[in-house]
Amino acid sequence: MYNGSSSGRQVQKTNICIDQGNASGQPLPGHTVAELGTMVATPFATHILSQLGAAVIKVEPPTGDATRALVRGGPGGTLIAYSHGKKSIAINLPTSDGGDVLRASIAAAGVMDDHRIDGRTSRLGPL
């Protein structure tokens, strides 16, 4: 018991634990997400999934994500803020081998997050 109220009444403190069904207490362990995105929207969304226990694989071009060069001399803040806890793979998507590697990565992951609206991903054919 502790006196946690301004009225002077005794209030009992109770700890509530929600059983998520796993030891980590995170709802998404065992899930893998392939991230095909840059800048803010997709990296932020997959950052949240990573914080919830999902394994996130960031797919980048061989030259690296564009946010790696936003700041002279180092990576941009978005990359630093939203990429920790993720794995990264460089894939040259325009090549046929790159498309095959991406398809295998997505099949292994089970989930893909892609925010690009320029049609580059759809040109790879069915994923």
Q: Which domain holds residue 69?
A: 32-124
pLDDT at 120: 66
Interval 70-97 mean pLDDT: 83
Residue 72: give its domain's CATH number.
3.40.50.10540
Question: What count of residues does the chain have?
Answer: 127
pLDDT at 55: 93
Q: What is the largest CA-CA distance in the chain?
A: 72
**2 domain-assigned:** no
Interval 23-33 mean pLDDT: 82
Please report, to the nearest 10 degrees, the dihedral formed by the alpha carbons of residues 7, 10, 13, 14 taken in order. Answer: -110
**22 domain-assigned:** no
- Ramachandran class of 8: left when φ > 0, alpha when ψ lies in -120 to 50, beta otherwise: left
Interval 106-118 mean pLDDT: 79
Domain tally, the chain? 1
**50 domain-assigned:** yes
Q: Give Cα separations from 54 to 23, 86, 125 (angstroms).
A: 14, 9, 27
